[in-house]
Structure 1
């Protein structure tokens, strides 16, 4: 499911992803990463982090937000 979500980063023929939608996806994926790390589920963490990075790379508009996300991941 996470790989399929990463494939939709550019939308489809009928819908282009808007920034707010992308931000919601990145935030949700960050939560999945935190959940996986808390449960020591390294496979889920790897898949969620890859999907999160895919979405974040396409929507790389704000450096402070990235710094916050990185700090949260490093704390875990």
Structure 2
């Protein structure tokens, strides 16, 4: 097992997704988790971010999907 240090961890999408998932497991509001994820990526000088969260958000009976896009997101 090799352990490596990552300079800007919140610039990697897998780490950011794990952060959001952990926040949701700890019963943090999805709006607060989404806002915090955007703040963390803005600190890493990322051009943009798109977040999509789905399921029974905030304990509601009906499942839904919420998404937000900040900055420039695309294939190039």
Q: Do both share a fold (TM > 0.5)?
A: no
Q: Which has the higher helix share?
A: 1
Q: Relative contact order (alpha carbons < 8 A, sep ≥ 6): 1 or 2 greater?
A: 1
Question: Please, what TM-score do these two structures have when normalized by structure 1?
Answer: 0.38
